[in-house]
A = this chain, B = another copy of it.
Amino acid sequence: MSSEFGNLLRVSVFGQSHGRAIGVVVDGLPAGEAVDREELQRFLDRRRPGGSPLSTARRETDVPEFLSGLEDGRTCGAPLCAVIQNADQHSKDYGGLQDKPRPGHADYTAWAKWGGQADMRGGGHFSGRLTAPLCVAGGIAKQILARRGVFVGAHLAAVAGIPDRPFPLRPTAALFEEIAARPFPVLDEAAGERMRSAILEAKNGLDSVGGVIECAATGLPAGLGEPMFGGVENRLAAALFGIPAVKGVEFGEGFRAAGLRGSENNDPFTVEDGQIRAESNRAGGILGGITTGMPLVLRAAVKPTPSIGRPQKTVRLSAMEDTDLTIHGRHDPCVAHRAVPVVEAVAAAVLLDMLLEGNHGTF
């Protein structure tokens, strides 16, 4: 239940940030699907901290090793297991944290849940590092989807309150690729410049910032998803909240819709080239939990990185007394930009799973 999601396509993530290795088992991939390792690596590299001052100075190579599930570069029907070695472990950076839970981190909740057995070094299993194997699973899902005309892309919709342009009504695969190729995944490069300044400013202030990621999927058939609790929104949200630091998920206008009138929020239907379309897409491509055939659009809110260099108030667990904590080590002043491919990965895996349920309930 805990580190897995999916129904016919099961994605099971394992590993701790400062253990020997992290990885993923993906069970239920269709057989015979080519996995383009270079394309996958380019996808993984998008979440990797580079030499950029915007991210942690830790170096992670993030090259997955496939233990099973691939034969001659193609999926073979058996569960795929990919492992990524943890080369650059500095668990000493976290020495002394065991007794002082970091505010905003899962240190305290892990301790409350598991007591002394919890691995608090580097956030253990809660670390953002675990999103690397998620990207392996999702990167493969993206390749399979693309072969069937379903494209998933994302951009940074906001950082520190600075907004990017939203996706156009009909984003294209070419647009997704263009953003993916950029060092900073925004539509409006001027906005991106301001975001980067805000990140650096926070970093210089030993602080951090959060952001919002907007993700879209095109090419989905109308009619995907089940009523009520088996809807596209339910399943995407259930998985997206598994990405560390995500605190909100919305579809289409989302929270903004709550402030609109029905006459503003309803998307008028129209016939276009013999197909039913909507003239706007405030529903984010989903009505009643089921796809409309318009682009699926969602947004995920990423909180500011809780690891900051400023002194913070916390408690000493062993003594049950208030204390101060200064976190040293190499931290991301912002993880939202690195989380962009992670949101794509999770969305792709969920959508592939739902498409695999196949035939929309008939056979």
Contact = CB atoms under 8 A, between A and B. Distances in A.
Contacts of A302: 258
- Classify the interface of chain A: helix, strand, loop or mixed: mixed
Contact of A251 (B224, B247, B314): B247
A238 B234 contact: yes
A99 interface: no
Contacts of A322: 270-271
Contacts of A289: 106, 241-242
A357 B360 contact: no
Contacts of A356: 359, 361-363
Q: Assembly of this chain: how many copies?
A: 4
Interface in A89-126: 101, 103-106, 108-110, 112-119, 124-126
Contacts of A32: 114-117
Given A1-B28, A222-B112, A320 B79 contact: no
Contact of A290 (B14, B109, B259): B109
A263 interface: yes
Interface residues of A, number: 157
Given A4-B229, A202-B261, A235-B238, A269 B115 contact: no
Contacts of A205: 261
A113 B287 CA distance: 12
Chain A to chain B: the 10 pairs with minimum beta-carbon distance, closest first = A106-B288, A358-B358, A248-B250, A2-B226, A78-B125, A208-B262, A32-B117, A2-B230, A109-B290, A238-B238
Contacts of A19: 67-68
A60 interface: no
Nearest to A102: B266
Given A103-B266, A250-B248, A276 B108 contact: yes
Nearest to A310: B263
Given A301-B254, A360-B113, A78 B14 contact: yes
Interface stretch (A5-13, A41-49, A167-175, A178-186): A5-13
B270 A313 contact: yes
Interface stretch (A51-59, A135-143, A209-217): A209-217
A16 interface: yes
B288 A109 contact: yes
A28 B223 CA distance: 14
A106 B12 contact: no
A31 B160 CA distance: 38
A228 interface: yes
